[in-house]
């Protein structure tokens, strides 16, 4: 079998401690406890939920009332944009307003570019977030500078001179610190030495963390975020492994930046955050949606409760993890069986065996699991492969109909010729089944699980296949009894995204008999897109907004989505300001970024194309730019969709 080849990143980190205690048993990562006002983060404390205000931070009542709405929704701490001295001073008035209403939840100041504002904020709130990419370096200029060792060390010394006084103010006031690195705002210094890599993002955090350690300051929470879930997950894992190698155990804040709105934002957040929570990482989370901030809290709560309710689960038999590459994407090698495997796009397989409301959908799966060959399917599914239980197969071969077997029938003496699907669990993978699979390569495995920690059990299955040299394509299958599509979106994305982020899976199948087909089809494609393995529609990278936002982000995002959602495979970034705008849209095809009050700048492949356009004409100009660049196609008529 062709094993997963270690990448450069994998080789570099292979000697580091693993990022979690076990790949097969859920256990919270042990971190030091950090006190933030009235709550503790890390240690034995539960995973905390938080959000961030979108108001002008100088508007005391509006900001405080939004904080209260977040708290009433279940948010346990609230972050506030703090652009400068005036905003930092006004934090005191905001806090007094909140205390007067009878609430005492912690407030967090969000600082970019302004160490002086950080000093003032540290005297007034419970926690200050600083970004190592711009705390002392200023705005990222994307300059190509050749940093000598001396110049590099001189910049670090300058950072330490600015960070030291701030740490003393934090120490004096009992203020916690979040060192929060963002993929979109790495410093020129980091970019020059490490490039736009997970190692560079980790080092951006570690430089500041080592300075704090020299100052004997430990009241710290760390975060590394990206709008790219693959980058986010691999980088946070690498950060934890790096900390472990240096004897550090600071708590982690998790989030996917610019996740977007609606189901896309929820699925993307669940994939990224869920993949880390599943391995016990994360002490506080924020689901960043381009919606009112209080709407983020119920999503975060559902995600947290779903993933973290697994301690003490039934034993999962361990298997060698020698082939596992947790710090870089390496696709598992699989051979081809029809439409599955060997580098083909991950397939969508709808499971309608237990009666799902049939209807057409804009996106069409490649295959359908049905109870019999005569089941009537929506007209849009007419070309799908039908996977039918063996006992209900027609007497004669029928085009695009494959038998679905259980393990007993597969191991029987009666050989089934041609393409087939075998429904299997990790516990089925004994010597007899392994031997039978070695003799028959014309099999696709439908991997299912009812284990409480099904994700870990399914990961063990993939590792066992690799250990035994088997390359059969695998469809990742999960089943849910929920009648609420929003709940299934969060659960399924959290339960399957990690596998696709790690290069496993040649197809996905989510069974939810109580839900209609159209929403389920969208969910399948949404998980694959959020996991970065298959792009089937426009991807919108949109920030949630904050006090720095320079236009109506929610309304604008809706307008852009309505006019461009049909553009298959394009990435469009809609960013409120420049803090992360240019960096986070590094892999976007087009960018719409706030440049000043009522002004928008448009980018193509991170290059500025139109500067400071009036907001009222910017969406039209974006459409013109897409058309002029040859990336525009007309939306299909509704009659072809439903």
Binding-site residues from annotation? 543, 546, 577, 584
* Cα pseudo-dihedral 320, 529, 478, 346, rounded to 10: -70
Per the annotation, binding residues for [4Fe-4S] cluster are: 543, 546, 577, 584
Structure tokens given for 552 = 């109506």
368 backbone φψ class: left, alpha, beta (φ>0; ψ -120 to 50) = beta
Indicate the helix (H) or strand (E) that contains 447: strand 443-447
- Dist CA 159 CA 165 (whole Å): 11
100 backbone φψ class: left, alpha, beta (φ>0; ψ -120 to 50) = alpha
- Dist CA 266 CA 555 (whole Å): 18
Q: Is 502:346 a contact under the CB 8 Å cutoff?
A: no
15 Cβ contact list (under 8 Å, min separation 6): none
- Dist CA 90 CA 389 (whole Å): 67
Bridge-partner residues for 80, per DSSP? 109
CB-side neighbour CA atoms (13 Å) of 169: 20
CA 339 to the chain's CA centroid: 27
Spell out where 576-621 has E strands.
Answer: 590-596, 599-604, 607-614
366 Cβ contact list (under 8 Å, min separation 6): 339, 347, 348, 349, 384, 385, 507
- Dist CA 530 CA 433 (whole Å): 33
- Dist CA 335 CA 472 (whole Å): 6
Q: Is 212:167 a contact under the CB 8 Å cutoff?
A: yes
Residue with tokens 């039908």: 386
């Amino acid at each position: 079998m062709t094993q997963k080849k270690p990448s450069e990143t994998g080789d570099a980190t292979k000697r580091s401690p693993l990022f979690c205690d076990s790949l097969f048993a859920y256990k919270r990562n042990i971190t030091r406890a950090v006190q933030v006002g009235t709550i503790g983060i890390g240690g034995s404390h539960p995973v905390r939920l938080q959000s961030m205000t979108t108001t002008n931070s100088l508007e005391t009542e509006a900001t405080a009332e939004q904080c209260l709405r977040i708290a009433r929704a279940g948010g346990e701490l609230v972050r506030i944009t703090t652009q400068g001295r005036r905003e930092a001073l006004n934090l005191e008035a905001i806090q007094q307003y909140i205390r007067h209403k009878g609430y005492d939840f912690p407030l967090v100041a969000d600082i970019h570019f302004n160490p002086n504002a950080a000093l003032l904020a540290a005297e007034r709130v419970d926690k200050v977030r600083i970004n190592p990419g711009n705390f002392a370096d200023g705005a990222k200029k994307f300059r190509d500078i050749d940093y000598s060792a001396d110049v590099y060390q001189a910049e670090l010394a300058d950072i330490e001179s600015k960070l030291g006084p701030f740490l003393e103010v934090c120490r004096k006031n009992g203020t916690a610190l979040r060192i929060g690195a963002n993929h979109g705002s790495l410093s020129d210094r980091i970019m020059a030495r490490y490039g736009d890599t997970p190692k560079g993002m980790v080092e951006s955090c570690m430089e500041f963390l080592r300075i704090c350690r020299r100052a004997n300051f430990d009241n710290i929470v760390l975060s590394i975020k990206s709008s790219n879930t693959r980058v986010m997950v691999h980088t946070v894992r690498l950060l934890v492994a790096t900390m472990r190698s240096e004897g550090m155990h600071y708590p982690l804040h998790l989030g996917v930046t610019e996740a977007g709105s609606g189901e896309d934002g929820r699925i993307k957040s669940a994939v990224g955050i869920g993949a880390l929570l599943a391995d016990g990482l994360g002490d506080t989370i924020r689901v960043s949606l381009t919606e009112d901030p209080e709407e983020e809290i119920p999503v975060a709560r559902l995600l947290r409760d779903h993933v973290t309710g697994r301690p003490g689960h039934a034993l999962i038999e361990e298997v060698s993890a020698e082939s596992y590459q947790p710090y870089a994407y390496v696709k598992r090698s699989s051979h081809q069986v029809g439409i599955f495997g060997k580098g083909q796009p991950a397939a969508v397989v709808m499971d309608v065996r237990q009666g799902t409301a049939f209807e057409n959908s804009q996106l069409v799966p490649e295959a359908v699991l049905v109870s019999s060959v005569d089941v009537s399917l929506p007209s849009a599914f007419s070309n799908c492969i039908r996977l039918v239980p063996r006992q209900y197969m027609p007497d004669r071969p029928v085009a695009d109909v494959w038998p679905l077997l259980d393990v007993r029938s597969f191991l029987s003496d009666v050989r089934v010729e041609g393409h087939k699907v075998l429904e299997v669990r990790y516990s089925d993978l004994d010597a007899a089944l392994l031997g039978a699979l070695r003799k028959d390569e014309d099999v696709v495995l439908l991997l299912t699980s009812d284990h409480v920690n099904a994700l870990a059990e399914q990961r063990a299955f993939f590792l066992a296949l690799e250990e035994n040299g088997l390359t059969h394509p695998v469809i990742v299958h999960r089943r849910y009894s929920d009648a609420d599509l929003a709940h299934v979106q969060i659960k399924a994305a959290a339960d399957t995204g990690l596998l696709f982020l790690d290069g496993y899976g040649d197809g996905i199948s989510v069974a939810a008999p109580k839900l209609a087909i159209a929403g389920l089809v969208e969910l399948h494609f949404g998980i694959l897109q959020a996991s970065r393995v298959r792009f089937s529609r426009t991807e919108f990278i949109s920030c949630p907004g904050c006090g720095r936002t320079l236009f109506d982000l929610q309304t604008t995002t809706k307008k852009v989505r309505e006019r461009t959602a049909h553009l298959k495979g394009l990435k469009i970034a809609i960013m409120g300001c420049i803090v992360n705008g240019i960096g986070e849209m590094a892999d976007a095809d087009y960018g719409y970024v706030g440049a000043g009050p009522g002004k928008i700048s448009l980018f193509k492949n991170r290059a500025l194309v139109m500067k400071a356009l009036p907001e009222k004409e910017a969406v039209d100009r974006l459409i013109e730019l897409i058309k002029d660049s040859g990336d525009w196609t007309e939306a299909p008529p509704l009659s072809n969709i439903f």
